[in-house]
A and B are shown apart, each in its own frame.
Chain A
Amino acid sequence: MEFYVEEGKELEQNCSTLILPALSIGNVGQLAVDLLISSLKAEKIGYLDDPNILPCVGNDAYWPSPPGDLTLPLEAYESSSSALTLVQQRSPVVKGMMVEYAKNLANFASSNGKKHVIILSSLDFGRWHTIDVSSGLQVYYLSTSNIDGTDEDCERLGWNRLQEYNPSQRMWKYLNTLAEVGSTLEEDLPFEELGDEDYYPSLPFAALFSCFKAKGLKVTCLLCYCSEGDNIPEGFHLAEAASKLMGLSQDEFHGNEAGRWIIPYSWKSVYGPPADISLF
């Protein structure tokens, strides 16, 4: 993975927190990062080039003006007032290369002075075992602060640790092995059949969590359950959670939506064009 800095820009040393999405059902992490970049008016500072990311290009995702600012699949933004770096990922990972990609990202974060990484992602509602409707859309988390995945700040914010996390479970241990330098995914898994307990460590957020952890960085995963559909509400929810964890004040946001959010320009067509009314 190579990092290409935009002309006249540089990575700020004080931006020691990195926020990025992990691919997941409903693209929720990516929607949340879009909202944060747009609402913090974070500045694009460079591009990450990795052969494990499929190519895509587009027009500016955030602003209609000035027109034609090119968007690439993996971009780095900074909000120096919030001491934040944000990486947005717009296309999938090449099949079978998720762990390699996660290792490359972890190398980038570690060699550029990042201390805390916040991963935003979502989980399939169909896998939710203990349904609790009393508290609305709940945020779940996983942290490197303690061996069992708990973290005091997250608990104080009323979030629940991901109960399915078990660091001594075979797939979590296998991920830790893969996250080490020089390890590669074996052609055949060293386990015969995969069960329900192997599901969570198979998800992209788990690869990122394990690889960043292997670099000695503090990692917090923020997760919410959802189904495929209009996942913008979940995007808002995770963005809100990330801003609470970071302790961001109202002043750092520039939007009017619910007091702080700016809807990215590209979202006006996120679900395609309106229906052809001539049908009716």
Chain B
Amino acid sequence: MDDVVTDIPPPSRFMLEDLNNFTPPSPPLPSPFLVFSTLDSSKSFHPSILIIAMSSPSLHFLHHLSSKTLIGTLVLPEFPFSANSVEPLLSDKSCNIYALNDSDRLIMIALVQYSVTSERSHAVAKLLIGERIIPERVLILDSVQSRNFRGKLSPDDIFAVKLETSFERRSSDTGDSPLIKGLDYFPSGSVVDGLAASLLSRCQLKKIKGTLCVSWPHFGVSVMSLVKSLLLKGALAGINHSSDADLEDEYLRFSRSKDFHLDSELYT
């Protein structure tokens, strides 16, 4: 039986420290920063599309996209490099940034492979959008957070829904092809928090066309197939990609062996 006194309250209810003006703040952390392979530190990037992947299915598919080139990384000082490999791996705690050249347009992809706390999200979102990286359109890929979702969620359900900035909605009305096709809107009354929310908020404030796609469940070959299909019919239409049964088998093994939300320094 749940212990109502000591159990963590559901997200709409506050902890005592949330309602105390005199709770001391957490010790400040060093600021995150971007590192690019170019020597020109003032160079800015203007991609047609910036894709920021956080969900397991999107990370797995985009990691295996062979036509991309590593051009930079976002360093979050609280994550040490010691456990990361020289060649990027899905198991690294990193946020590598890639370029995908497709005829005359530049697509950039950021693979966020560490868990960014809500408190750090504002700073990370500022780095990824609107300073050195100034995208025309942004696509954010995350998973539905069951703690914030007010509808029914079953592990047997496979779906994705979206939220858009007002500029993206207007561009759809005027004939621009959407980055993600055929999705319903995220239901009213539920929310998305964390880095995905910070990124989409930043797009809205900076008047950038932005789309957030959240998928369910967190793991599974079916949801990976769904996300892959959405990308190949939308933002990555026409892009060369490697796809075969091995990718799905590998993902099945990967998602069985790793919980993306476990983050233990013991194993670095």
Binding site for B on A (CB under 8 A): 2, 4, 7, 23-25, 27, 47, 49, 51, 54-61, 64, 67-70, 72-73, 90-99, 171, 175, 185, 187-189, 194, 201-204, 206-207, 228, 265-270, 272-273, 276
Contacts and interface: CB of A to CB of B under 8 A. Distances in A.
Which of A24, A194, A273 is the most central at the interface, judged by chain B CB atoms within 10 Å of its CB? A273
Contact of B18 (A72, A93, A206): A93
25 contacts: A24-B19, A25-B19, A49-B205, A51-B122, A55-B194, A56-B191, A56-B192, A56-B193, A57-B193, A57-B196, A58-B188, A58-B192, A68-B164, A68-B185, A70-B166, A70-B200, A70-B204, A93-B18, A95-B18, A99-B21, A171-B22, A175-B21, A265-B189, A266-B188, A269-B187
B22 A47 contact: no
A201 B188 contact: no
B26 A95 contact: yes
B193 A91 contact: yes
Contacts of A99: 21
A221 to B, nearest CB: 14
B71 to A, nearest CB: 27
Nearest to B119: A94
A97 B197 CA distance: 20
A185 B24 contact: yes
A105 B198 CA distance: 20
Given A94-B119, A269-B150, A59 B22 contact: no
B176 to A, nearest CB: 15
For the complex of A and B, list the 4 residue pairs with the smallest distance between their C-beta atoms, beginning with the closest.
A96-B25, A269-B189, A269-B150, A55-B197
Contacts of B156: none
Contacts, number: 146
B150 A202 contact: no
A95 B201 contact: no
B77 to A, nearest CB: 17
B26 A266 contact: no
B14 A58 contact: no
A270 B193 CA distance: 17
B150 A57 contact: no
B121 interface: yes
Contacts of A269: 150-151, 187-190
Interface in B200-246: 200-201, 204-205, 207, 212
Contacts of A228: 13
Main secondary structure, interface of B, reads: mixed
B169 interface: yes
B229 to A, nearest CB: 22
With most chain A CB atoms within 10 A of its CB, the pick from B21, B24, B125, B204 is: B21
Given A54-B193, A64-B188, A94-B119, A70 B151 contact: no
A157 to B, nearest CB: 27
A193 to B, nearest CB: 13
A60 B121 contact: no
Interface string B1-42: 000000000001110011111111110000000000000000
B22 A67 contact: no
B152 interface: yes
Contacts of A97: 25
Centre residue among B24, B165, B194 by max chain A CB count within 10 A: B24
Contacts of A67: 185
A57 B14 contact: no
Nearest to B167: A7
Contact of B201 (A7, A55, A272): A55
Contacts of A93: 18
Nearest to B16: A202
B163 A59 contact: yes
B204 to A, nearest CB: 6
Given A58-B190, A267-B189, A202 B166 contact: no
A202 B23 CA distance: 9
B45 to A, nearest CB: 23
